[in-house]
Amino acid sequence: MDQLEPLSTNNSLVFSLITSLIITSILIIFFTSIFPYLTSCFHKLFSTSLFCSCEICQAYLTSSWSKDFNNLCDWYSHLLQKSPTKTIHIHVLRNTITANCENLEYILKTNFENYPKGKPFSSILGDFLGRGIFNVDGELWKFQKKMASLELNKNSIRSFAFEVVNNEIHHRLIPLLKNQNEVALDLQDVFKRFSFDSICRFSFGLDPMCLEKSLPMSDFALSFDLASKLSAERAMVVSPLIWKIKRFFNMGSEKELKKSINIINMLAKVVINQKRKMGFSNHQDLLSRFMSTTIHDDMFLRDIVISFLLAGRDTVASSLTSFFWLLAKNREVESEILSEAERVIGVGNNFGVTNFEQLSKLHYLQAAAYESMRLYPPIQFDSKFCLVDDVLPDGTRVKSGTRVTYHPYAMGRLEELWGEDCLEFKPQRWLKDGVFQPTNQFKYPIFQAGLRVCIGKEMALMELKSVAISLLRKFRFELEETSSTTTTLGCDNPRFSPGLTATFAFGLPVFVRERGTDCEA
């Protein structure tokens, strides 16, 4: 035993030395890397008027607004309606929110260069969207917009999109909805699956088959949903310090977000590699078209396509959900849509449209779609960041670094813009002598406006109208009486979940009734 004591002592010394080195290394890393980072974050946190005592900021911080409103967007609408300039301030967020048309034109067009997406926004969505078109500014944005515009304006890509959408409608969506008479079906979930299948086929040439009758959900779809949700939640916190610390230590929601993005990245890498091996010159999907250009950076390709996937999937699903909810509550509008379809398409076994020309003649349907999005825009608000101190047209002073948000949801509820009947669902407000008439894009910024106007607008409308006319001529949708989509506070609005796009918190439970071949309402 005596011979073992020196050895034991030496081991103890070595262990103590290693432990000391580890602790010293941790302290060095902390004070050289982590401590300055935390100090910077705390400095930013306490320089943003976190403890503002004004009524609006206190209502936001304590969530006391929820006593009267089920949705934050409805509270903002209420505040903007009362504001003489249609502009308000949330000081604790350094956020100026406006529903003023002149302000919108100034921000999105006149002084566009002073109101980019900005680094704060890019950092929030950076892990998810990377360098995609919806998350960048400057030359990188201009390059992607020019490239995407050239592709999306081609007749070949529009025809391909029309083919994909109608194939999904007639081979999956309609068969799924048949024989559902006795079961309440979540129509929002169905539309999410439909739009995810469609946009994946259009963007990647990939079919996740989420709308098969067994309603499977792929790992990619689940990861995409979770990444979108958790990225949106970053923007809801009072300070980015909170999510940045969680990301640094890979904990909680940030750990989940990282896992989801890893799955998305792995699939994107596999798809890109497969296309490169098989060749992509004869493929019609968006990714193949981009790969046939000068872009050879796989992560850049991934970022571009993921951005289009986000825009094309969630916005269409959101628009379809609110549209069918409104139609179920306004049967006279549904009847008028069906009457117009009989005049334009005719009566018979063809329940959908066969070409773009037929779609363009459905003026009342177009008006109903626009009216639905006026009341329930898929993107309820959008933000920019002020680069240099400025003054908006309504006299509002904006300091550098301030987040400036325009609010389409609130704008659709302003009497000054839409009249005393602004809360009513009236497609006829968009018609003149039976012909659809668009309005000023800064009054109706549903597809953004100015230089960043949505380049996929026409294809999104094509998808929405194709689904609507095909399903309405085939089925009648009745809201489940016990549905919790509406509030209990006398406000006939759905309750929304936090997210990048408007989503009904409780889904859209409906009973699906198949019509006779005469398509009567």
Residues contributing to the annotated binding site for heme: 454
185-186 vs 435-436, strand pairing mode:
unpaired
Give the list of residues 6+ apart from residue 305 with CB closer than 8 angstroms, or none. Answer: 203, 204, 268, 286, 287, 290
Binding positions:
454
Closest CA to 327 of 360, 377, 358, 365: 365
The torsion defined by the Cα of 225, 229, 231 and 236, in degrees rounded to 10, comes to: 170
Closest CA to 129 of 319, 260, 276, 284: 260
Structure tokens at 315: 């916005």
Structure tokens at 102: 């002149």
403-406 vs 95-98, strand pairing mode:
parallel
Query: Helix, strand or coil for residue 2?
Result: coil
Write the CA distances from 41 to 90, 117, 122, 125, 234, integer angstroms.
Answer: 20, 21, 17, 18, 15
Alpha helices, H only, 420-481: 457-474
User: Residue 401 region, left (φ>0) first, then alpha (ψ -120 to 50), else beta?
Assistant: left
Vertex 58: Cα angle to 54 and 63 (nearest 5): 155
What is the DSSP code string of 219-276?
Answer: HHHHHHHHHHHHHHHHTTSS-HHHHHHHHHTT-HHHHHHHHHHHHHHHHHHHHHHHHH
Give the list of residues 6+ apart from residue 183 with CB closer than 8 angstroms, or none. Answer: 511
